[in-house]
Chains A and B, each alone.
Chain A
Amino acid sequence: MQNVYEQVEANKTKSIVIVALFTAFIVGAAYLIGQSLGDANILPIALAFSLISSVGSYFYGPNLVLSLNGAKPAARKEFFDFYTVTENLALAAQIPVPQIYVIDSPAPNAFATGRDPKHAYVCATTGLLTKLNRTELEGVVAHELSHIKNYDTRLMTIVAVLIGTLSLFTNLAFRNSMYRDSDSDRKSGTPAIIGLVLIIFSPIIAQLIQLAISRRREYLADASAVMLTRQPSGLINALKIISADATKFSQASTATAPLYISNPFRGNKIASLFSTHPPLNERIKALESML
């Protein structure tokens, strides 16, 4: 098992590796497409595009994730327990108090984002806030603050934004190749095939990346959350309530799914094949062994 400092270092390194892989993938794909089209302009454009989206995901990824999920800043008066619990646990975790956001959705879920503990955000759905009591909420918030402290949020947010960009890119490639196909007599076989390959491979790549980074860190964040609250029962009960709840979560997308405390697409069989989260009952079991 890694300790916290090794975890932080690993996350920072992985963030850089992911950005490098992303750039390599985009530039490589652009090179192939450029070759087949005989168009050299596409390469610098792709390079600029991947650089901009990488830098953008680092600085503006968190804001993008928040607005994509329809999150709004939470007021102390309206969300008293959520607000004060976050304040208290930030004190215990010895990090600055993150910015506190709320999503208006009945599905109980929560996530954290931000590039480092000084630029961090915690977000919960209104469903979570109404369904959990204060002790259970402390467990969930402690879990999210652990992600912030471990720099999981930096890695996860970058991955989420880049995967989103990638799927945008492949969609464009797909549409482009369709367009060219229908454009009759030009030699358009190759780009069409590349577009198809991109479409088939990029979700798989995306899923593999998510799998590689996500499963174990959930256990680690659960354990660190218990270190903060010293009450495993709070998080256990919260996870039980979350797993028993079948409300649909309409705001979440596949790209942002790994950020959440529990997979927003639970119950969907194909989605759970590529799940970035360990099953809730196994997390509960691991926590119960700490009681």
Chain B
Amino acid sequence: MTPTIKMVFSLGLAVFVAACGRPSNVSKDADHSIANATMESMLDAKPDNPVHTIVMPHDEPPFPPGPGRDEFVAACVVCHSPRYITMQPRFSHATWLSEVKKMKAVYGAHISDEEVLKITDYLVSINGKADSGQAPKGTYGE
């Protein structure tokens, strides 16, 4: 696939994300009922239907406010659920830093070196180890 098509595909998924789920503080009730109607019709496929379609559920944990949260939300959840953070044990600053650097260097996350540090500090603040020199200031609301 060409990069452009991949991005459209990705955007489509992101829209699915937004359309799915219970009413929330960002999706209006009207949107929600449309999403449910779509889901029902898509799941109503007959066994001999050659088109097989599913609608993915999403269950993304809320993240607490704090310095670096905006950068985290903008740069990280484009490609993956924040559960990639919350399922990890509390890691040291060094471990989180190497993970964020990997996202930039290996996977091409669109973040500056300054944002790498901001995001790392945020991850340490919500899921860091006390012995990493920065005591965890909160939890991620599991």
The answer to whether A and B interact is: no
Which chain A residues have a beta carbon within 8 Å of chain B's beta carbons?
none
